Every structure is written in structure tokens, then in C-alpha cells.
């Protein structure tokens, strides 16, 4: 049972030991992670809305009703906050590639599933931050990690394209160019899609992927 | 004859009046425009390389061997410099749409020509700045003009797509979604294409447009 301080009294079964008023190491760690994540979520939304340069950790702290000193318990600097935000987004993209690989049996199925999730993630908070963040916004020492993760995702996409070409599921396109065209088309909603708009991220993603797979020229 | 101060002595034909040492109003205006353009070109390259926020007008001035005060003869503020840079890029895109309309006789020919030029411009200095500039980087009073010009380009692209669908040159795709997919795929090189790379902007543009027109699924 996951023990949460404020609900402990209600959830505790009658016949067991009374809950200790002291939190266990695990509870403290969970609490720390939840607070760290709340800071990152608040920060990423401000970065996306106002831009990284116009957002200070004071603003982020104020939006959570805490002080900047409290943020420093969890994250060392604004650059670390930004690097964590883009890392979360990039990890979501990598996980989407792995999930597509594990759960779809055909090369085309994997590609379509990955592309749709890729677009959806880029319309969500952390993915949006990945796209909106130019490398120059990160401290020089943070750039290699950002670049390495982006390269991993590009590699995953190129591998899926190569496999789909190899078994004839897609046409023998230039893999590097196709990966760039797909990534660009599916990154772009990070700049224009507003979650308040009419269509859901899932619908938009599916519609963009259909157009990219089918192309514009008529199929006779 | 275009009269330029430093070449005047050589170009002046023997039998005419000696050139006046005083420049005409037109010469002064040409000189002013050339200097203004040199400032914008130096600025746009720094914006693209370091990011707008990390570039000061002092840096731009230093790169031209002039003082910041000299820049203020031509442009009022860093925000005006940025707005002018993105406006030049957006005007190039609009001119590409007009040129395609005037010089190509088929709906498909116009679309292909516009898309290729669109991609090429976005790999060049001013187009690159359009793509790399989030609206939040501009002063609030400069954003409506930026947004209005972007909308004009989106409208031009959608109109070309609608016309090509109407006469059967392309498949009956969702015009809004197709415009987003195309724009995204052809904007993205602004973030990854380096002019020092192997392929030229023209080759890359043609290759991306081919993939987008043909799609990924095999044509049987």
C-alpha cells in the first residue's frame, strides 16, 4: 500500500500497528521526487509560454507558492531545470520507439505507431520544450547530452525506416532525408498547436502521419 | 549609371563634367540603405548562431568595426533589428509564392516551385531567423506584424494546395493539415542544415519536396 501522510489515518486498517509519525526513507524519497517533478512541470510550462530567457526560477517558485531557495533543494540551477525538462521529453520519445518495437509485429506498424506517438509527445509539455529549445539556450556543458539524446532518436527513426524499406513496406526513399522530413513535420506542431484548439493531439498526429505516408500526389 | 563614391573616378567617362564632390540625395539614400542592410546581415547571422537573447547590438557593431551609436542611425533598437530581419525573410517567402504563380503554368508546377524555394529560403540567413524566432522573442507591439506575414504565407500555400486538388494534380488531402506538414518539414532545415555541409540547399530542398510529394508508402 502506498502510504501518503495526509490520508494515512483513513487508510490504515483497524487491526495493524499504528502508523509511525516518522516517514521512512522511501517515503521521503518519493516525496522529494514528487516535489522535484512539480517544479519541472511548472518550469516547462513557463519556458514554453514565455521562452526560457524570459523565465526566472523566481517566477517558477512564485507559481508554486514556494521560494527559490526551496527549488534549490531539488535542482541546482536554471540550466539544470532546462536540461532536465528536455531530457524528460527526449526520454519519452525514446520510450515511444521502444514501445513501438515491442508491441507491433510489422515494420509498417512500428513506424506508424512511433510517428504518431512522436507527434503527440511533441504537443505535450516536455516534448514541446525539446523542440522550442535551441541548443544555444543550454549551457555549453549541457549541450553534448542534449545532442546525444536527439541523435539516439534520429537513429531509432532511421532504423525503423530502413527496416520498412528492406521488407517493402515503404518505398525506397533516402532514409536520412525521409527522417528529416518526418521529424520536421511532426516537430512543428510544438510551435503552433495549442491544447485549447479544436482537434486533439491524437487526431492531429494521426492526420499528419497519414499525409506523410500517403504523400500529396494522387495514387491511381 | 549607378554612381558609387569610391569607384566614381574610374567609371566617369572622359568627356563629361567632373563629378561633384558632394553626393546627391539619391546617393546618400543608397549609401544609407547599403549600411542598414550590412547591419541587418551581421545581426541576423549572430542571432542565428548565438540566439537573439545572447546577442547585443554592441556585438553586432563590433563585428562591423563600428559603434553602437552608428547602428542607431539606421535602426532604433534591437527589437527593430530583429523585426526587420524576420520581415525580410517573410517577404522573401511571399515573393517566392508570387514568382511561382507568375512563372509556372500548372498548379503542380507552381506548388513544387514554391515549396522548393520555401525550403531554400529557410536555409538562408533571413529565412532561418524567421524559423528560429519564437514570437515571444519579439516585443509585444512587433508580434502582430510577424503573425500577419506568417498568416499570409500560410494562406498562399493553402491556396496553391486547394487549386492543385481542384484540378486533380494532387490528392484530396486536408489542406490545413497538409500545409502544416509541408511547412514543418521545410522549416526544420533552419535548425539542422549547416551551409558548410555536403549537399547544397537546392539539393536538400528538392529531395525533401520529392519525399513529401511522393509519400512513404510504395506506389504500385
pLDDT at A209 over 60: yes
Interface test with A, best of B154, B185, B214 (most A CBs within 10 A): B185
* Shortest Cα–Cα distance, A170 to chain B (Å): 4
CB spacing of A170 vs B51 below 8 angstroms? no
How many whole angstroms separate alpha carbon A153 and alpha carbon A70? Answer: 34
- Mean per-residue pLDDT of chain B: 89
pLDDT tens for each residue of B111-163: 999 999 999 999 999 999 999 888 888 999 999 999 999 999 999 999 999 99
CB–CB of B189 and A180 under 8 A?
Answer: yes
What's phi and psi for A20, nearest 5 deg? -70, 140
Instruction: With CB atoms and an 8 Å threshold, state whether A213 touches B212.
Output: no
Q: Which of A53, A161, A218 sits opposite B170 (nearest CB)?
A: A218
Binning pLDDT at 50, 70 and 90, where does residue B3 land?
very low
Given A51, A207, A213, which is nearest B215 (Cβ)? A213
Distance CA A6, CA B218 (A): 58
Report CB contact under 8 Å: A173, B204: no
Contact assessment for residue B171 and residue A216, using Cβ atoms and an 8 Å cutoff? yes
More confident residue, B202 or B193: B202
Is a pLDDT exceeding 80 seen at residue B2? Answer: no
CB-based contact A137 B51, cutoff 8 Å: yes
By Cβ distance, the residue of A136, A207, A214 closest to B51 is A136
Give the pLDDT score at B44.
Answer: 97
Q: What is the mean pLDDT of residues A64-86?
A: 95
Q: How many CB pairs under 8 A join A and B?
A: 131
User: CB distance A136–B204 less than 8 Å?
Assistant: no
Residue B156 in grid coordinates: 498562399
> Is B180–A185 a contact, with Cβ atoms under 8 angstroms apart?
yes
The pLDDT value recorded for residue A135 is 85
pLDDT, residue A98, reads 97
Residue whose cell numbers read 512563372 = B103
A contacts of B174 (beta carbons < 8 Å): 207, 211
Grade residue A4 by pLDDT with cuts at 50, 70 and 90. very low
Predicted pLDDT of residue A213: 96
pLDDT score for B60: 96
| CB-facing half-sphere around the CA of B139: CA atoms within 13 A | 10
Mean pLDDT of B180-208: 86
Q: Which three cell numbers stand for residue A39?
A: 517544479
Domains along the sequence of chain B with CATH: 23-75 (1.10.10.60), 78-214 (1.10.357.10)
Tell me the mean pLDDT in the region B169-197: 88
Of A136, A185, A218, which has the smallest distance from its Cβ to B181's Cβ? A185
Residue A2, pLDDT score: 38
Question: Is the predicted pLDDT of residue B98 greater than 90, yes or no?
Answer: yes
Produce one character per residue of B136-164: b if its CB has 16 or more CB atoms within 10 Å, e if not.
Answer: bbbeeebeeebeebbeebeebbeebbebb
In which band, very low, low, confident or very high, does the pLDDT at B6 lie, cut at 50, 70 and 90? very low
**Contacts A216 to B, Cβ<8 Å:** 161, 164, 170-171, 173, 178, 212-213, 215
Give pLDDT, residue B103: 95
CB A76 within 8 A of CB A36: no
Contacts of A164 in chain B (CB under 8 A): 216
Considering only CB atoms, B181 lies closest to which of A53, A180, A212, namely: A212
Cβ-based contacts of A178 with chain B (< 8 Å): 211, 216
Q: What average pLDDT does the segment A161-169 reach?
A: 97
> Is A178 within 8 Å of B211 when comparing Cβ atoms?
yes
Contact assessment for residue A92 and residue A121, using Cβ atoms and an 8 Å cutoff: yes
Instruction: Tell me which of A7 and A51 has the higher pLDDT.
Output: A51
Mean local confidence (pLDDT), A63-90: 95
Position B138 scores a pLDDT of: 93
pLDDT mean over A32-57: 93
Confidence of residue B16 (pLDDT cuts 50, 70, 90): low
Q: How far is CA B181 from CA A180, A189, B117, B123, B185, in A?
A: 12, 9, 16, 18, 6
Amino acid at each position: 500500500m502506498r502510504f501518503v501522510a495526509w490520508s494515512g489515518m483513513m487508510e490504515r486498517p483497524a487491526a495493524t500497528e499504528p502508523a509511525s509519525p516518522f516517514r521512512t526513507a522511501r517515503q521521503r524519497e518519493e516525496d522529494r521526487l514528487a516535489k522535484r517533478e512539480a517544479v519541472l512541470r511548472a518550469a516547462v510550462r513557463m519556458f514554453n509560454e514565455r521562452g526560457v530567457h524570459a523565465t526566472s526560477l523566481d517566477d517558477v517558485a512564485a507559481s508554486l507558492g514556494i521560494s527559490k531557495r526551496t527549488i534549490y533543494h531539488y535542482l541546482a540551477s536554471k540550466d539544470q531545470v532546462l536540461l532536465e525538462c528536455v531530457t524528460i521529453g527526449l526520454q519519452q520519445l525514446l520510450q515511444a520507439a521502444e514501445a513501438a518495437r515491442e508491441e507491433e509485429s510489422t515494420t509498417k506498424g512500428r513506424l506508424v505507431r512511433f510517428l504518431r506517438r512522436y507527434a503527440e509527445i511533441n504537443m505535450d509539455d516536455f516534448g514541446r520544450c525539446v523542440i522550442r529549445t535551441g541548443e544555444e539556450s543550454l549551457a555549453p556543458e549541457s549541450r553534448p547530452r542534449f545532442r546525444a539524446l536527439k541523435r539516439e532518436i534520429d537513429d531509432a527513426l532511421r532504423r525503423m525506416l530502413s527496416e520498412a524499406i528492406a521488407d517493402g513496406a515503404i518505398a525506397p526513399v533516402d532514409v536520412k532525408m525521409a527522417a528529416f522530413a518526418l521529424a520536421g513535420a511532426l516537430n512543428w506542431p510544438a510551435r503552433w498547436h495549442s491544447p485549447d484548439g479544436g482537434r486533439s493531439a491524437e487526431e492531429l498526429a494521426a492526420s499528419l502521419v497519414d499525409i506523410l505516408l500517403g504523400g500529396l500526389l494522387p495514387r491511381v
